[in-house]
Homo-oligomer: A and B are copies of this chain.
Amino acid sequence: MSVTAPQGFRAAGVAAGLKSTGAPDVALVVNDGPDDAAAAVFTTNRFPAAPVLWSRQVLGGHRLKAVVLNSGGANACTGPEGFGDTHATAEHVADQLGIGAIDVAVASTGLIGVRLPMDLLLAGATAAAQALSADGGPDAARAIMTTDSVPKTTVQAGSGWTVGGMAKGAGMLAPSLATMLVVLTTDAVVPAEVLEPALRAATGASFERVDSDGCLSTNDTVIVMANGASGVTPTAEEFTAVLTAAATDLAMQLLADAEGSTKDIAITVRGAASVADALTAGRACARNNLLKTALFGNDPNWGRVLAAIGTTDAAFEADQVDVAINGVTVCRGGAIGDPRDGVDLTGRAISIDVDLRAGTEQATIWTNDLSLAYVHENSAYST
């Protein structure tokens, strides 16, 4: 049921012709209230797309009644004209719904540096408004897909309230063309001052720890809307836990569908002096092309793990670090450990456990391998 699983939300997904394939490409999610609390996190890329610039302004009020999303064009690096296109889209949707443009967030995904065909987009937005339905969540999830092979949705139950969500993305967190767009909805009663930190906690533990190809998109957007339709007010802890479960479920779906990937790799760094050190060391592995190609080749090349960690400023002594791959401690004390022949990498799931022996903190970063299909897909994307 996706974003329409909680009470008081309607959604739709339609084909507006932005995609040459004729697949659905415009989605609309509407909050029918009674509350309109909202929060969002956006890309930190310094070339934010027009819809990001617009939606940041909208979300500054911590209120939101609708989100219109399109695939088939990112509307990024399109200058003042592109911003005008986003503004016109929000105005048009607001007119359809009888609300103000400032109540409407916009999110876009697709090729950078190309203007959107506004006649098609606005006609699609009209059609989406007419198609809105309390069962429309799955259609909306399909309409935001780009290189995704499957739609990504989640439903997580609280006590008398629900969190629903949809996501698109096939790179991650740091995705580029494979922008990550996420809409989360809930019928719990959650004031904005609770919603904002809950969303930061949820994304910090999920999307921000998935690093498939290290590239940061111009369009990444995560929006949550809370309408209080259930009449139930969870504690901040309860709500944060369920929202985090929803975000984590979507993040793992993004990881499993990463462009061209053949492996899901969980890199856990333990024994760190701080969580920041653990994340730094994990990310260095997740972004090391030599390690990622080795794992694609089913090669438990632990030397590349050390070489990656060796580029960071995390606290450790080189002769203290252990590395286990799929349970085999192939490196002990920064040197040769158990035989690498014992490591079975034939499955999709790979775990790399690094013990820095420098403290008591730990963190996990998820990534994918660097495959022939990744290169093929990303070299052929815009041609």
Contacts from A to B (Cβ < 8 Å)? 44-48, 74, 76-82, 111-115, 171, 176-177, 213-218, 287-290, 293-294, 296-299, 301-304, 306-312, 316, 318-319, 330-331, 333-336, 370-372, 374-376, 378-383
For this chain, the copies found in one complex come to: 2
Contacts of A45 in B (CB 8 A): 307, 310-311
Beyond the given A297-B379, A372-B372, please list 7 additional residue pairs across the A-B interface where CB-CB is below 8 A: A78-B335, A113-B330, A113-B331, A213-B289, A214-B289, A216-B310, A301-B382
Q: Which of A44, A76, A333 has the most CB of B within 10 A?
A: A76
Cβ contacts under 8 Å, A288 to chain B: 176, 214-215
Contacts of A80 in B (CB 8 A): 335
Contacts of A115 in B (CB 8 A): 336
Provide 21 A-B residue pairs closer than 8 Å at the C-beta atoms, listed in order of the A residue. A47-B309, A76-B307, A77-B306, A78-B335, A78-B336, A79-B333, A113-B336, A115-B336, A176-B304, A177-B304, A215-B307, A216-B307, A216-B310, A216-B311, A218-B303, A289-B370, A289-B374, A293-B375, A294-B382, A299-B381, A374-B375
Q: Is the CB of B79 within 8 A of A378?
A: no
A293 in contact with B379 given A176-B307, A303-B218 (CB within 8 Å): yes
* B336/A77 in contact, CB under 8 A: yes
Q: Which of A82, A335, A371, A376 has the most CB of B within 10 A?
A: A335
A334 touches B47 (CB 8 A): yes
Q: With A47-B306, A304-B176 in contact, is A370–B375 under 8 Å at CB?
A: yes
CB A330 to nearest CB in B, in angstroms, measures: 8
Contacts of A290 in B (CB 8 A): 171, 176-177, 213, 215, 378
Complex CA–CA separation, A63 to B121 (angstroms): 71
In the assembled complex, the Cα of A171 lies from the Cα of B82 at a distance in Å of: 40
Q: How far is the CB of A248 from chain B (nearest CB, A)?
A: 24
Q: How far is the CA of A242 from the CA of B64 in the complex (A)?
A: 65
For A111, list chain B residues within 8 Å (CB): 303
B331 touches A77 (CB 8 A): yes
Which of these, B79, B216, B218, contacts A335 with CB under 8 Å?
B79
A265 to nearest B CB, angstroms? 14
- CB-CB under 8 A from A176, the residues of chain B are 288, 290, 304, 307
Closest partner residue, chain B, to A302 (CB atom): B113
Q: Are A47 and B307 in touch, CB under 8 angstroms?
A: yes
Residue among A81, A111, A177, A316 with most chain B CB within 10 A: A177
List, in ascending order, chain B residues with CB within 8 A of A46's CB: 309-312, 316, 318
When the two chains form the complex, which single residue of B299, B319, B336 contacts A382, counting CB atoms closer than 8 Å?
A: B299
- B378 near A371: Cβ-Cβ < 8 Å: no
Kindly provide the distance from the CB of A80 to the nearest chain B CB, expressed in whole angstroms.
Answer: 8
A303: contacting residue among B44, B76, B330, B378, CB under 8 A: B76
Bound-state CA distance A290–B87 (Å) is 29
Determine whether the beta carbon of B113 is less than 8 Å from that of A217.
Answer: no
Residues of B within 8 A of A381 (CB): 294, 297, 299, 301
Q: Which residues of B are found within 8 Å of A336, using beta-carbon distances? A: 77-79, 113-115
Question: A215 to B378, alpha carbons, bound, how many Å?
Answer: 21
* B47 adjacent to A299 (CB under 8 Å): no
Provide the residues of chain B in CB contact with A82, threshold 8 Å.
335
| Residue picked from A48, A112, A290, A296, most chain B C-beta under 10 Å | A290
Q: Could you say which residues of chain B place their CB within 8 Å of the CB of A299? A: 379, 381-383
| Closest chain B CB from A319 CB (angstroms) | 7
